Structure 1
Amino acid sequence: MVDVDDGAATAAPEKRIEDGSIRLVLGAVAATLLFASLGQTIVSTALPVMVADLGGMDKITWVMTAYLLASTIGAPVAGKLGDLYGRKMVLQTGIVVFIVGAVLCGIASSMGQVIAGRILQGGGGGALIVTSMAVVGDLLPARERGKAQGVLGAAFGLSTVIGPLLGGFLVEHLSWHWIFFVNFPVGLAAFIILGIALPRRADRSRKSVDYAGGALLATFLAALVLISNTAGTVFAWSSVQTLSLALIALAAVVMFVRVERRAEEPILPMSLFANNTFLVVNFVGLMVGMAMFGTITFLPFFLQVVKGISPTSSGLFLVPMMGGLLTASIGSGRYMARTGRYKLLPVFSTALLSVALLSMTTLAPDSPLWLIALSMIGIGLGLGPVFSIGVAAIQNAIPVSMLGVGTASANMFRLIGGAVGTAGFGALFSAGMAHNLVKWLPEAGAGGIRTIEAEMVAALPPETRAHVLDGIASALHPVFWIAAGSALIACIASTQLRELPLSS
């Protein structure tokens, strides 16, 4: 059993690394995390061109979903493998898998081949993101980890903004193939640097691998991601497909818990749930993930259809949020390193997040864009400390032998919250539109978000258009009310976090 808040074990699983190499390794790790994160976001602006070249319009959403699905599954498995066999092996393997997937996408001659390559990319990307964060726990004392995790969180947030812009630039000036080939030099450089500077694990003994637990966790996460991406859009909520996925997810999680209690080296040790820090931080991440993904998913639609701005400009409204996230993530990490304190940071940040989301419940067709941008800054400031401080707090509270598993859990629970939030908010928004638009635009009200385009709304008679815009804005209000409530629950839960001393 893991003692509640026992703290990290004293012996690190890796050989000691010279102090002069730490910065080099951390730089390579940050670059690795950045290009793995870019793998998801860089593709969005290239999709129309790829469809025009390869065909397969009916498969377009799977280019994004395949990556998300594989990365969600790959992350917790990689976290455990890193604990068993060392971060170096997992990082270098992840880089190779990611690059091979990128090359397959770049030379693909059909959309099916692109999707196959994206599955490989996603598996490698998920492993890279989690293992990069775990390396920080191996190399730095607890007091310094918040600062480094803040930088990694900033790199992750930066990819959300620069990914679509870089993808658009490469498509316009070269071709869509280069959005995949551009990863090669960065991946090669990171592979070489990590091979030289990061030591291998000293223990080479044979380990027991929890294959059954890994398969059940993969099944649960896959079903959850598929529900969030297809329910209410591809399939009706009451359809056989959606209900079957829900039953599969439920059965998988029940069997997973039973298997993990008996496994010699469980993918996710059940004893960790007795650890206050692990439990509180991951519950907060779950709630915040719901709030964050709800915002990111539906705000661009409101800006394009209701405010009438272009898709590119609507995407730029994520920049204020990411600016706030970068500032708060790095700033909170520095505060943690300077003072050794961290408990109040997620309390205050989630309170700010709740207030910022509450301000979004007033969205209307005449809402000024500057006010929306201001709310997005508040949302980013609220998110930043949760990401950087949460991972560092977990790494400080669990044995070093479980560092990868603990780091992966923070990412996994946030993604689970995002999947549940996206699905639930999508159903709520669609139901609200069906109710609000049934009189003015019955076919759109019944069909949901995918049947409404900005051009279609702009072409409506003025009176009808005014009612439709009001109906769309009103349908969003419950989404942001519930997101604000989720952030408030996260705030209350954060007060239960027990602050542990940080080694320096």
Structure 2
Amino acid sequence: MSTHPATAAKPQEPPGEPNYLIPFLGIMGAMLLAMLDGMIVGTAMPTIVDELGGARDLSWVVTAYLLTSMITTPLYGKLGDLFGHKTMFLSAIGIFLGGSVLSGAAHTMTQLIMFRAIQGIGAGGLLVCGMALIGHVIPFKKMGSYQGISGGIMGAAMIGGPFLGGLITDHLSWRWAFYINLPVGAVVIAVISLAIHIKREKRPVKIDYVGAALIAVIASALVLFTSWAGDRYDWASPQIIGLGMLAAIGIGLLVLVERRAAEPMLPLTLFQNRNLTLAAAIAAAHGFVMFGAMTFLPLYQQVVQGASATNSGAQLFPLLAGTLVTSIVVGKSVSKTGRYRIFPLLGFAVSIAGLIMLATLAGDTSKLVSALFMLVFGVGLGLIWQIPTIIAMRSTAKSQLGVASGLVRFMQSVGGALGVAVAGAIFVHGVGSARPTDGRYLETYANAIGGIFLWAIPIAASGLVLAWLLRESPLNDDEDVNAPASMAREQEAALAAH
């Protein structure tokens, strides 16, 4: 352990309304870079393989990025609480842009994988520090509206990213899938540096290096488990079982270490906060359902409905529209009423209805009918999207915004990774030995993808139960904008007990 000067944000009066938009757009610009990057690069992969070769290692271009970003996500959250979220946010942007330059200049697949890992180190801080900065800049009474807008922007990135990636790859070069980050990143750095000012007071801290190392081990085991299970190795193989055991042992050791750490990377007192724990679990369920389903919808459109790679992205517009509109409406409603519990309840219920519809997709399902199914599913996702983050910010003091946001983001990533892995296993089992030359291949393919949505229903149902267990504490005008007095006292009492 070593001592370093650190900073903690002081509560300050909310700025005037005109001051919110520019800082918010700067933060969102950086977060958008992280979201768009994965979507754009995914579309460019075939062209990258044609030029660099190394098709056998192609999956590591994604896995390396995912691995380092998941490892650093909870670490950035805690370090932001210790040294300042603005400082860590700008550092993350710098690392991300450096990785982007190197990735665009890569001459071999090995180099690209290494540089993508560097990019992921920066990406891990963009979302979690961005959310924490929003919590510092914007008062909670207005948080819902801005979170709703950010949810819509993120949804647009997820759907529009593949389309943009196709345009860049076709008309410029796959290298510009990375270089495009530079001008946007430069503008974001200028805006964040000039428009965001957070008063801080210095205090000594001790870095929890052992906790950080254990989080890295756990995240690595989970990423490799979800990336390899059912693909490179059988689910019952020694490698996959070993990774699962490594993650479990790591979690056990982390609990022991964090109980004794002076400044734990993951304070266990957070889990004494009922709503924050439920929010993290809801984020995991939402990530499982969302990423598992959305990964295979383009395959259905391309293989069964005959859409091109670019057009399949455009055909996801109903899902985007449902997510975008409901996310904005939910945000405005939360800002106006201070109530949020109803939305994940409705969201998981509507998502279940959408999953039931999508499970009926067949070889002869029309594009209009599948668009309607996606719209319903998108509405459900949009109702849930920002609620876990809002609850995290609502349930913790400003001094722990980073670690709370990091926990929610980390759990959503874990849920998403598990969702994709399970969906892939279900798909492979459903397709079986069917080949394109078989007469009923398209029907078999459609049924296999339909099975993915069917198996996602129990997870969505568990999310509904978790949402039911939430305890709502609506915001009053005389309460602190980020941590109401009652919740602050609960946190202090938990820390004292610890």
TM over 0.5: yes
Structure 2 residue corresponding to 1:255, chosen from 247, 253, 256: 253
1:49 aligns with 2:47: yes
The equivalent residue for 1:499 is 472
What is the CA deviation profile of residues 129-185 of structure 1, one whole-angstrom value per residue up to 9, with x for unaligned ones? Answer: 111111111122222111111122222212112222222222222222211111111
Deviation, 1:333, is 0.3
Aligned to 1:166: 164
- 2:382 matched to which residue of 1? 384
User: How many aligned residue pairs are there?
Assistant: 469
**Distance verdict in 2 for CA 1:427–1:32, change over 3 Å:** same
Q: Deviations over 1:461-497 (max 9, x none)?
A: xxx322x333333333442222122112211221111
SS of corresponding position for 1:234 = coil
Pick one of 305, 308, 313 that aligns with 2:306.
308
Match of 1:454 in 2: none
Q: Distance in 2 between matches of 1:127 and 1:336?
A: 26
Please give the alpha-carbon distance, in whole angstroms, between the structure 2 residues aligned to 1:87 and 1:218. Answer: 21
- Three-state SS of the structure 1 residue aligned to 2:206 is coil
Query: Who is 2:128 aligned against?
Result: 130
CA apart distance, 1:12 = 4.8
Task: Return the alpha-carbon distance in structure 2 between the equivalents of residues 200 and 12 of structure 1.
Answer: 6
Q: Confirm or deny: 8 A CA contact 1:100 1:121 kept in the other structure.
A: yes
SS at match of 1:205: strand
Q: How does 1:37-186 map to 2 (within 5 A)?
A: 37-186=35-184
Q: How does 1:383-402 map to 2 (within 5 A)?
A: 383-402=381-400
Of 213, 216, 219, which aligns to 1:215? 213
Aligned to 1:3: none
Whole-angstrom CA distance in 1 between matches of 2:428 and 2:450: 12
Q: 1:121 to 1:503 in 2, by over 3 A?
A: farther
2:296 paired residue number: 298
Give the aligned partner of residue 6 of structure 1: none
The answer on 1:227 being equivalent to 2:225 is yes
In structure 2, give the amino acid aligned to 1:190.
Answer: V
Show CA shifts across 1:276-329 (max 9, x none).
Answer: 211222222222221112211222223333333323333333322122111111
2:446 counterpart of 1:473: yes
Q: Cα deviations across residues 234-256 of structure 1 (Å, max 9, x unaligned)?
A: 22223332222222212211111
Change (3 A) 1:70 1:201: farther
Query: Where has structure 1 moved over 4 Å in runs of 4 or more?
Result: 14-18
How far apart, CA to CA, are the structure 1 residues paired with 2:13 and 2:121?
Answer: 29
1:202-250 deviation digits (Å, cap 9, x = unpaired): 2233321222112111211221111222222122223332222222212
Equivalent-residue separation in structure 1 for 2:196 and 2:359 (angstroms): 48
Deviations 1:322-381 (A, max 9, x none): 221111111100011112221111111110011100111212111122111111111111
1:394 and 1:482 map into 2 onto residues whose CA distance is 28
Aligned to 1:4: none
CA contact 2:337–2:474 (8 Å) conserved in 1: no
Match of 1:198 among 196, 208, 226: 196
CA distance in 1, matches of 2:315, 2:258: 43
Letter of the 1:212 counterpart: V
* Residue 269 of structure 2: aligned partner: 271
Matched, 1:355 2:353: yes
For 2:86, give the aligned amino acid: K
C-alpha separation between the residues in 1 aligned to 2:325 and 2:157? 15
Bigger mean CA offset, 481-490 vs 14-23: 14-23
Letter in 2 for 1:481: L
Q: Is the 8 A contact 1:86 1:201 kept in 2?
A: no
Check conservation: 1:14, 1:86, Cα contact below 8 A.
no
Distance 1:226 1:141 in 2: 39
Secondary structure of 2:359 counterpart: helix
Distance 1:503 1:381 in 2: 29
Q: 1:286 to 1:367 in 2, by over 3 A?
A: same
Q: Secondary structure at the match of 1:207?
A: strand
Separation in structure 2 between the aligned mates of residue 193 and residue 17 of structure 1, nearest angstrom: 19
Which deviates the most, 407-416 or 316-325?
Answer: 316-325
SS in 2 for 1:33: helix
The structural deviation recorded for 1:407 is 1.1
Q: Which one of the candidate residues 316, 322, 335 is aligned to 1:324?
A: 322
Distance in 2 (alpha carbons) for counterparts of 1:85 and 1:337? 30
Structure 1 unpaired stretches of 5+: 1-10, 445-456
Match of 1:405 in 2: 403
In 2, the alpha carbon distance for the partners of 1:234 and 1:314 equals 27
Cα distance in 2 for residues equivalent to 1:24 and 1:147 = 15
Query: 1:15: how far off?
Result: 6.3
Provide the secondary structure at the position in 2 that maps to 1:203: strand
| DSSP-derived class of the 1:204 partner | strand
Equivalent position SS for 1:206? strand
Worse-superposed segment, 253-262 or 12-21: 12-21
Kept in 1: contact 2:315–2:371 (CA 8 A)? yes
199-208 or 189-198: which moved more? Answer: 199-208
Task: Give 2:410's aligned amino acid.
Answer: M
Gaps of 5+ in 2: 1-7, 478-498
Would the aligned equivalents of 1:429 and 1:479 in 2 still touch at CA under 8 Å? yes
CA distance in structure 2 between the aligned counterparts of 1:369 and 1:273, rounded to whole angstroms: 45
What SS does the corresponding residue of 1:342 show, helix, strand or coil? coil
Give the 3-state SS of the residue equivalent to 1:352 in structure 2: helix
Structure 1 residue 95 displacement after superposition: 0.8
CA distance in 2, matches of 1:310, 1:170: 16
What's the RMSD between the two structures over aligned residues?
1.9
Deviates more, 1:88-97 or 1:68-77: 68-77
Contact map agreement 2:168 2:177 (CA 8 A) in 1 = yes
